[in-house]
Structure 1
Amino acid sequence: MLRHKLIHPQISAIIAAAGHHSSILIADGNYPAASKRGPRAELVSLNLMPGVPTCNQVLEALLSAIPVEAIQTMQTETSGPYALDGDPPVWEDYRKTIKNEGLDLEIQPVDKWAFYDAVSTNDHVLTIQTADQQRYANILLTVGVRMD
């Protein structure tokens, strides 16, 4: 039996095979997961019903299981229908989860199109599609090195 929070067998198998610099996307419910992913990336759909599960819940499970060296989010737009005045509320949830896992990492916002490019590389091994309805909830993790 696993001791960390992540118990999903398919996700566990994929992250066990991932190495340093591999990337894992936790996608919100609006992300085009079928078309915006790396050529080798596997897609696991966890979207049960609107809002279940959230990206932050998946983040918590993954951070309990793998070393992470970088975390990127899709930068908010400043004009248009999806514009926000500041950081989306979900980013504060991420910061709390990251801190609770004892990590000293900052969220790095990346331009929308650069974010899509980062997800489309050969290093992208997994997209976990959630049903999170919050704007700008997509989060891209870069796998680090196990130090213990």
Structure 2
Amino acid sequence: MLKGVPAVLSPQLMMVLMEMGHGDEIVIADGNFPAAACASKYIIRCDGNKVPEVLEAILKFFPLDKYVKAPVAVTEVVPGDPVKPIIWEEYKKIIKEYEGDVKIEEVERFSFYERAKKAYAIVATSEEALYANIILKKGVVK
């Protein structure tokens, strides 16, 4: 245990965040996401935790990439699906608190999966909200 580090950040997750370099991406996945099938390097289990609490804990230490159009991506709603992902509003508030106004890109479902396969790590949560997956692109520490 360390002072000031949120309990949701396991030693493995902290190690991964520190290993990541500028431009690397990390996925925080909801409970329905095929995390094991998509993980190419690291899969980090965060069972019992929700995406917003993991997102907030990560952003305390993790700078977003300021040199790209959209350093954050979410899974786009499948055409015809009536779901309105209200969790995205929570993401915007958390991101704004730590990084200011940042563009969030919506990525088509299968394109999101392909992008996740190239991510440095996938954090698998127990989030129940639909369309709750989020990708963060790491920036530089100044």
TM-score bucket of the superposed structures, by smaller chain: 0.7 to 0.9
2:54 counterpart letter in structure 1: V
- TM norm structure 1: 0.84
Structure 1, unpaired ranges of 5+: none
- d(CA) in 2 for partners of 1:108, 1:96: 16
Task: Tell me how far apart the structure 2 counterparts of residues 106 and 4 of structure 1 sit (CA, whole Å).
Answer: 27
Structure with more helix by fraction: 2
Aligned residue runs from structure 1 range 1-148, under 5 A: 1-5=2-6, 7-37=9-39, 39=40, 41-48=41-48, 53-69=49-65, 70-79=71-80, 83-84=81-82, 87-121=84-118, 124-147=119-142
Q: Is the 8 A contact 2:28 2:122 kept in 1?
A: yes
> Which residue of structure 1 lines up, in the alignment, with residue 68 of structure 2?
none
Change (3 A) 1:103 1:2: farther
Q: Percent identity?
A: 29
In the alignment, the residues of structure 1 paired with residue 134 and residue 101 of structure 2 have an alpha-carbon distance, to the nearest angstrom, of 17
Please state how far the C-alpha of 1:114 moved relative to its aligned partner: 1.1
TM-score, structure 2 length as denominator? 0.87
Contact 2:63–2:99 (CA under 8 A) maintained in structure 1: no
Extract unaligned runs of 5+ from structure 2. Answer: 66-70
User: Does the aligned pair in 2 maintain the 1:4–1:65 contact within 8 Å?
Assistant: no
RMSD between superposed Cα atoms in Å: 1.6
